[in-house]
Amino acid sequence: MTLEPSDIKLLTLLQKNGQATAQELGDALNLSPSQASRRRQRLEETGVIEGYRARLNPDKLGLSVQAFVQVQLASHGPEQGAGFSRLMRTRAEITSVWTMTGEADYLLRVWCPDLAALNRLIHDVLLAHPVVARVHSQIVMDQPKEDAPLPVY
């Protein structure tokens, strides 16, 4: 799909504020509210915009430990990968999972209330899984740059 300059600006605005009204978007794009609304709707219908979410403050939710956990599997058959992926989807503290090249097979982003909870996740859940060979965790000390909007070209 080819994006027009106004689509790019609209997407940039919506990534900053998904609750922007048609009036606010129209003003920012120099379009009428109805034109801005139609552009937004077209981008939703074509799947460029997948949805909208609230961004929550982890500290206010008692989530003081963020970590990245690398997981290496002992074997790599389709059943093993599917079983491990099922486990990942059942754990609320695991907020993102990526499959990786290199030494680790998976990279997990996790949020826990404290170090004891992270320790339980690693030892009682991850290392206890039959296909997991190795786990390496890195605790986030600070996040100098917040999760940013996607670049839109």
CATH number for the domain spanning 64: value is 3.30.70.920
pLDDT reported for residue 116: 98
Structural domain harbouring 107? 59-139
pLDDT reported for residue 78: 84
Question: 34 and 94: one domain?
Answer: no
Does 27 map to a domain? yes
SS3 content of the chain, % helix, strand, coil (to 5): 40, 20, 40
pLDDT one-digit tens code per residue, 103-113: 999 999 999 99
Question: 118 and 81: one domain?
Answer: yes
Does 150 map to a domain? no
**Strand partners of residue 94:** 110
- C-alpha angle with apex 143: 142 to 144, nearest 5 degrees? 110
Position 79 pLDDT exceeds 90 = no
Question: 39 and 63: one domain?
Answer: no
Number of folded domains that form the chain: 2
Q: Is 55 helix (H, G, I), strand (E, B) or coil?
A: coil
Average pLDDT of every residue of the chain: 96
For the beta carbon of residue 67, count every other beta carbon within 10 angstroms: 18
